[in-house]
Amino acid sequence: MLRFWQTAKIGENGHALEYMQFGGDHLRPLVFLTSIEYPVAPPWGFCIDAANAGFGVFSIRRPGFGASDTVTSVDQQAAVIEAFFDEGGLENITLVAVGSANPVGARLALKSRRVTFSVFANCVFNRDVMGEFRPAWFGRLLSQTTESRAGARISLGAIRQAGRQFGSQWFYQTCFQKSPGDVSYVKTFPREMAEAWEVASAISTETYQQELYPSLKGDPFLRDGLFSSVPCLAISGLETTETWKTGFEAEANRLGIPVSYLSSGDILVPYQSGTELLTLLKTKVAA
């Protein structure tokens, strides 16, 4: 079975939402909300393994990415995706929110009746992570995003220029350098990384700012104990820094979310450690 992207028209206004589906409709939906870091579907081999484990993989390019229409807030993103679940008749969803998709994933985990288990991967939640970025210039570029619309435009322009000049492989290997597993993934899947760059670099300044602001400046939605009674899990990679682990665990504890570490990867942990993720999910949910 091939992986290919298609576009659904959601609601009376026909809001466009781009998605990929792999596997029969009888399988339990395993839905990835893609991030600015990697707005691409999981590898074909993962999709095959997921189907064998009882999961049908969906990958959603959230509003503002690819062929998906833009919106003006995180809450509107969640509403569009929930409408996609409703109109598609998806039930008993296992949701995996990755990186910058976690603010949307958090809202769906709490509010969607169709989502029954949620995974928060490479999640910032509400903490200062500016010192975690490698190289340091990349962190400084990202910090401009939250200062002003002009700062976001300059930041996005500089990233686009770097990618155009040196290529997607150089860009991702440089910016994902703190994790050997992430770098290995970038090298192993050059076509996917080129696609990720093409989609991510084409977003508007408004989407870029909306995408990064909750993670870099904090999300007031994330109140103490918010997920204490919600079936969910936060994952990270063992390869990440000790300072990241400390902050990650503290925030997960504050929010009431159990934590698990996978062996390889950091930013790309659910993809690089996909086999481990499926094994973990099979212990958490009845696929």
* CATH number, residue 190: 3.40.50.1820
Provide the pLDDT for residue 141.
Answer: 86
Please, are residues 196 and 38 in contact by the beta-carbon 8 Å criterion?
A: yes
Q: How many domains does the chain have?
A: 1
Q: Which two tokens stand for residue 82?
A: 């929930």
Question: Of 141, 143, 168, nearest to 155 (Cα)?
Answer: 141
Provide the pLDDT for residue 287.
Answer: 45
Spell out a b/e string for 274-287, using b for 16 or more CB atoms within 10 Å of the CB, else e. bebbbebbeebbee
Which residues in the chain come in under a pLDDT of 50? 287
What confidence tens digit (pLDDT) does each residue in 265-281 have?
A: 999 999 999 999 999 99
Kindly provide the residue ranges of all beta strands, DSSP E only, lying in the chain, ordered along the sequence: 5-10, 15-22, 28-33, 55-61, 93-98, 115-121, 232-237, 259-262
Provide the pLDDT for residue 2.
Answer: 62
What confidence tens digit (pLDDT) does each residue in 81-118 have?
A: 999 999 999 999 999 999 999 999 999 999 999 999 99
Residue 201 structural domain? 2-286
Please, are residues 121 and 95 in contact by the beta-carbon 8 Å criterion?
A: no
pTM for the whole structure: 0.95
Provide the pLDDT for residue 1.
Answer: 57
